[in-house]
Structure 1
Amino acid sequence: MNKNILIIGAGPLPNDTIGIREAAGLRTHQFTKTIANEGHSITLVCIHNNDNFTEQVKKDKTDQNSYKNTTILRLHRHDKNLKKTIQNLLNKHNRQNKTDKTDNRIDNKIDNKIDIIFGINTFPSFIAAQICPQNTPLWTDLNGWIMAESQARGFFEKTNIHFANAWRQEKFILKRADKISTVSTAQKFCTIGEMASIGNITFQNFHTINVYSLPNTTEFFKTDKQDNIDTKKRTQKLFKGVKTPKESIIISHIGGYNNWVDTSTLFTAIDNAMSTCPYLYFVSTGGAIKNVSNKAFSEFLDKIDTSKHKERYIFLGWIQTEDMHKVYQESDIGINIDFSCIETQTGARNRLNEMLKFQLPIITTGESEIAENIGKYGAGECVPNENPNAVTTAILKMATMAKESNLSQYKKKCEFMHTQIYNSKIIMQPVLDFINTPIIRDKKNTQQNTPLLFVKNALWYLKKNGIQQSFNKFIQRFL
């Protein structure tokens, strides 16, 4: 049976014309596309955090064509009426008289009751947890562990200020959500630990799974706009043979330089490899990221500027989505270099998913779940973190193989991981099961650290063990 579903997610979406494909928008796309393909009716509230938000909305009003039976409402994260507008939208769907009829962004013809609410990414999930009625099932997706991300951001800013607000949001979500998803198994267990800390792990839910690890899938990295590119534009080169010699070997870094990108190791490894391999060129898309410390990226650019190989570093910036296939067609090797840190161990790496999709052989440092899988299945070379010599060795090995057109073994493994390991039909099945049979979690049976709980536990121990043993236990613990 088809359901009416409200999704509160993040933009920009990967089919938008803004030219930036952020991790939050890709995650929103993964959930929305999966649910829309099942024929459910969706209202998608897309929360943006971009300076050119107004211009983007003008361009992308018709983007709902990317999802069947979906209506999109775009809002800015810093809109002072953000929560109120979404609450009004929900009230209108549920035909409640509390709706503010002065909000002209809401279609007055809406009359279908919302069956299930999804929050995709932490901040949208925080909003969803606040507005979701107690009798409406709520699934929240924590796209990356916000505590680890706060640590990484604070490392460069030399502050611990971000933790309090991060935990405030996460704690509120965990208390309200019926089901929770994460991007890795490591993050799943971090989340379970957080749930235990607020009393959500009890004997009553011993047989209940409330947290799921749903890695990023690879199917949806080929966006709708890539299907409609004319033949002439498809054959136009971006860089190989234009900005580099035709016989060059291209090693590409895709996307933004987040706080956990180890730019020092990346530069040292690439530059050393260039000294040995004169036909090696480095190409990068993306660049600086809003609301992220860009100190390391700036230092990366400064080091390149002083390198004797600086002419062999090509920066394309944020390019249009429909041009991304060219980057992969013209590249020989993809690279991903991370710090050894908690975020790496718990987080996702969209650039690696995309490289698998386009069968680009990969060099990556380890510790992240997907990087370790790439090494395990042979889709690339997985090397130790913060070890420039190991990265250089892997680059020279692959560059030699690329020169000899001998990378097919990696490409076959990329295809295998794309179709078998990161297949959305397998990964996203728990979401579809929840839609078909939604279950509201029992939120009454929680273990809060209160004086009443202490008394209840003491009485239970007394009843079970008798006066003498209880007295001895009291003496042992408190005296």
Structure 2
Amino acid sequence: PTRTKDGVRINDTELRQYSEGEFTLDSVEELTHFRNDGFLRDRIEASGSEAVVGVNVFPASRSAALEPAIPFWADMNGFGMGEVQIRGFLTGNNQAVAQGWADELPCLVRADCFSSASGPQRYALIGELAAIGRLRPETCGYEFVHVIPEGREDPPPSGVRPTVLDQLPEGAQIALWVGCYNYQFDTDTLFEGMERAMDRSANLHFVSTGGQVDGHNETTFARFKKQVDGSRHKDRFHFVGWLPWDEFDGLLRTAHLGVTLDIPCYETEIGARNRITEMMRVGLPVLSTRGPEISWDLEKHSAGWLVDFSDPDQLEERLVEALSDPAELERRAKNSRKVFEKFYTLSAATAPLLAWAKNPQFAPDRGMRPLLLPEYSKPEKRGWLKGWLG
């Protein structure tokens, strides 16, 4: 694995393997192994694999680079181009956009089948395939893209008491944030609405797991923490960091309400939210912005509360409303768990992939260059494209 200590990369080149029955896990170092085409090809050949599945965009891009001779499924988990758009907007740097497309394009060209994390992302992927010319006569009627939502294992409760409870007074009501603080999350509205709700609800405490995304986004969390440090209620904001799974599970089951807020952008509209699935797994009702597809389930099945984008007044009101009605919290908690059981267990979420894996097939255009890619490589097209791009 790639590891860091005090911000310095540790090059751990040892290859570790774990096997159980027909399952084998390789723990590899990124540069020595994962970015090494020869190593990956040898592992695939040695395993006797009948198909390759690249899970998430970067592993899928690495799989595409190998030009596998066996069927290839690319799991484009999350709307990557939407995320790099936000990253460029907030950092003032467009380099991430080119890198995002460089990761996606090999997958779009070479994969036989795709999965998206949401229905809206499925349509976005189909549009990307059309843009490079894979919607051609040979693929008419072929289902390129399947939806695999953010499913979760469903283990029994860990039974572990979260240590953060030692910092909370008796009767505290926990509004829980789960996971990283990435570019698409609206921490300004989160802070303002939470602080106002604390003015009205003496028992409200904000607890956050996770934190910054090292090497990717180290600014959003820092900005939020600075706001909290200057808050009149700073003692009611609790940051516990990245927890071992058993304590994390215990905290999820102890909280009263999950909270997640997004900025208005295409990533929010088209992408997915792991944290909401995680909350629903334990039957935690969720307060979310109205945007991601999974938020529609919260509204449709009365499994939480939704607020509009960038509206701290609504956030304040919904927080106070939710925490002042224990019976309604319990009702929506039960609905949250029901939604998870119906749509987001691993068996439900991965059904399309499992069906394909029984008989992996090449796409009908396997071996054909996408029709529109050659257009941009012709001399007469290159000049036009360069001029159009400025």
TM-score scaled by structure 2?
0.88
Residue 248 (structure 1) shift = 0.9
Residue 330 (structure 1) shift = 2.0
Equivalence for 2:240? 316
Q: Equivalents in 2 of 1:275, 1:62: separation in Å? A: 53
Tell me which amino acid in the other structure corresponds to 1:129. A
Q: Equivalents in 2 of 1:235, 1:138: separation in Å? A: 41
Is residue 58 of structure 2 the alignment partner of residue 123 of structure 1?
yes
Q: Residue 313 of structure 2 aligns to a residue in which SS?
A: helix
Residue 180 (structure 1) shift = 0.6
Matches within 5 A, 1:365-404: 365-402=289-326
The match for 2:122 among 157, 174, 188 is: 188
Residue 235 (structure 1) shift = 5.3
Change (3 A) 1:262 1:73: same
Tell me which amino acid in the other structure corresponds to 1:155. F
Change (3 A) 1:436 1:236: closer
Relative contact order higher in (CA < 8 Å, ≥ 6 apart): 2
1:213-267 Cα offsets, whole Å, 9 max, x none, are 111113x164xxx77x6xxxx3544223x10112111111011111111000000
Equivalence for 1:215? 149
Residue 446 (structure 1) shift = 4.2
Residue 69 (structure 1) shift = 2.1
Q: Equivalents in 2 of 1:352, 1:339: separation in Å? A: 16
Equivalence for 1:333? 257
Change (3 A) 1:64 1:56: farther
The match for 1:349 among 270, 273, 291 is: 273
Contact 2:115–2:122 (CA under 8 A) maintained in structure 1: yes
Contact 2:279–2:286 (CA under 8 A) maintained in structure 1: yes
Q: Residue 407 of structure 1 aligns to a residue in which SS?
A: helix
Equivalenced residue count is 371
Change (3 A) 1:438 1:334: same
Q: Residue 84 of structure 2 aligns to a residue in which SS?
A: helix
Residue 88 (structure 1) shift = 2.3
Q: Residue 317 of structure 2 aligns to a residue in which SS?
A: helix
Q: Equivalents in 2 of 1:248, 1:431: separation in Å? A: 43
Contact 1:75–1:82 (CA under 8 A) maintained in structure 2: no
Tell me which amino acid in the other structure corresponds to 2:204. L
1:283-332 Cα offsets, whole Å, 9 max, x none, are 00111112322322212111111111100111101111121121123211
Contact 1:338–1:344 (CA under 8 A) maintained in structure 2: yes
Is residue 163 of structure 2 the alignment partner of residue 238 of structure 1?
yes
Q: Residue 268 of structure 2 aligns to a residue in which SS?
A: helix
Is residue 344 of structure 2 the alignment partner of residue 422 of structure 1?
yes
The match for 1:286 among 177, 200, 210 is: 210
1:352-371 Cα offsets, whole Å, 9 max, x none, are 00110001111111110111
Matches within 5 A, 1:13-412: 48-51=1-4, 64=19, 68-79=21-32, 82-91=36-45, 93=46, 112-134=47-69, 136-218=70-152, 220=153, 222=155, 234=159, 236-240=161-165, 242-402=166-326, 406-412=328-334
> Where does the alignment leave 5 or more consecutive residues of structure 1 unmatched?
1-47, 94-111, 455-479
Q: Equivalents in 1 of 2:192, 2:2: separation in Å? A: 34
Equivalence for 1:431? 353
RMSD (Å), alpha carbons: 2.5
Contact 1:156–1:295 (CA under 8 A) maintained in structure 2: no
Tell me which amino acid in the other structure corresponds to 2:228. I
Change (3 A) 1:64 1:374: farther
Residue 143 (structure 1) shift = 1.2
Q: Equivalents in 1 of 2:293, 2:174: separation in Å? A: 26
Change (3 A) 1:200 1:333: same
1:332-391 Cα offsets, whole Å, 9 max, x none, are 111001111111111111110011000111111111011122111110001111111111
Contact 1:221–1:354 (CA under 8 A) maintained in structure 2: no
Query: Which structure has the bigger radius of gyration?
Result: 1
Contact 2:284–2:337 (CA under 8 A) maintained in structure 1: no
Q: Equivalents in 2 of 1:143, 1:49: separation in Å? A: 21
TM-score scaled by structure 1?
0.72
Tell me which amino acid in the other structure corresponds to 1:440. F
Change (3 A) 1:61 1:411: farther
Kindly, what percent of the aligned residue pairs are identical?
26
Change (3 A) 1:445 1:131: closer
Change (3 A) 1:69 1:113: closer
Q: Residue 284 of structure 1 aligns to a residue in which SS?
A: strand
Equivalence for 1:13? none
Q: Residue 255 of structure 1 aligns to a residue in which SS?
A: coil
Residue 406 (structure 1) shift = 4.3
Residue 205 (structure 1) shift = 1.7
